[in-house]
């Protein structure tokens, strides 16, 4: 064995690399960043160990500025990843809420479309009904106009009949009785049916005296008598109706 070999065999073994810094494995993103740092630390430790075996033991690397800078960068990155993870979780939650709102709006839109279709159908039905009612109203108006014309014609006919009836009444001596001239009957020429029991008399008074008789007769058949405006009354029995000729 050479002197150099004897010198190497008397060196103490290199210390094992320190464990990587404790990391709370809460997310896959954080785990991805832990392993590269641990690997770098292990690499540094391996180099130190090899050098120590070949030459001598080095100071603890955890106290170096490089290690502190690396640890600080790691902590900053870990904090940034935590914040980013929270932001992503919040965004996912908001996205789910937005999806729910969109789905609710779609359901509402479908409901409104169905409602609109129903209203359109109802509106069409109402339009058809309105057209039918307008047609019916036109028919009723035409019928009402016809009825008005008929009522007017009937009123006119009634007036004519009434006038005729009044005229007939004014020009008719209805039967047996004592009729005052100018009140009950109008003066003029009258035709009577006569008969076996017919009697008439023009009177100058109503006292029942023979002197009140201006003229009289017992016609057995149709007869005509002229009642003067100066006559006081006309008496008839059993002759039926008398009709004024003029």
Domain boundaries, the chain: 3-100, 173-244
Name the pLDDT band for 44 (thresholds 50, 70, 90). very low
Of 11, 4, 10, 76, the C-alpha closest to 37 is 76
pLDDT at 7 exceeding the cut of 50? no
Residue 23: pLDDT band by 50, 70, 90 thresholds? Answer: very low
- pLDDT at residue 136 greater than cutoff 80: yes
**pLDDT, tens only, 164-221:** 777 777 789 998 999 999 999 999 999 998 888 999 999 999 998 999 999 999 998 9
The mean pLDDT value of the chain amounts to 81
Q: State the maximum Cα–Cα separation within the chain, in Å, rounded to a whole number.
A: 207
Hey, which residues does 227 pair with through a beta bridge?
Answer: 188
* Per-residue model confidence (pLDDT) at position 51: 43
Return all residues near 34 (Cβ < 8 A) that are at least 6 apart: 20, 23, 25
Nearest CA among 207, 168, 206 for reference residue 185: 168
71 C-beta neighbours (distance < 10 Å), count: 14
Per DSSP, what are the bridge partners of residue 213? 203
- Is the pTM for the entire model greater than 0.75? no
Residues 6+ apart with CB under 8 A from 38: 20
- Residues 198 and 52: their CA atoms lie apart, in Å, by 180
3-state secondary structure at position 186: coil
Contact between 181 and 229 (Cβ < 8 Å): yes
Among candidates 68, 86, 81, which has minimal Cα distance to 32?
A: 81
């Amino acid at each position: 064995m050479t002197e150099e070999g004897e010198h190497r065999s008397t060196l103490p073994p290199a210390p094992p690399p320190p464990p990587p810094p404790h990391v709370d494995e809460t997310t896959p993103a954080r785990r991805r960043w832990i392993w590269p740092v641990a690997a770098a630390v292990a690499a540094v430790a391996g180099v130190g160990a090899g050098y120590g075996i070949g030459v001598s033991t080095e100071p603890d690397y955890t106290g170096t500025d490089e290690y502190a800078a690396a640890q600080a960068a790691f902590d900053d990155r870990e904090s940034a990843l935590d914040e980013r993870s929270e932001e992503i979780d919040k965004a996912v939650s908001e996205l789910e809420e937005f999806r729910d709102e969109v789905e609710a709006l779609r359901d509402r839109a479908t409901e409104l479309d169905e409602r609109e279709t129903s209203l359109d159908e109802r509106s069409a039905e109402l339009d058809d009904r309105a057209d039918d009612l307008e047609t019916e109203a036109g028919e009723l108006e035409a019928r009402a106009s016809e009825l008005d014309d008929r009522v007017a014609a009937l009123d006119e006919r009634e007036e004519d009949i009434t006038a005729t009836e009044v005229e007939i009444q004014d020009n008719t001596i209805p039967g047996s009785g004592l009729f005052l001239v100018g009140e009950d009957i109008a003066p003029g020429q009258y035709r009577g049916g006569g008969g076996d029991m017919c009697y008439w008399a023009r009177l100058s008074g109503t006292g029942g005296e023979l002197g009140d008789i201006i003229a009289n007769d017992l016609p057995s058949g149709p007869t005509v008598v002229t009642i003067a405006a100066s006559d006081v009354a006309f008496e008839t029995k059993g002759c039926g109706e008398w009709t004024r000729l003029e």
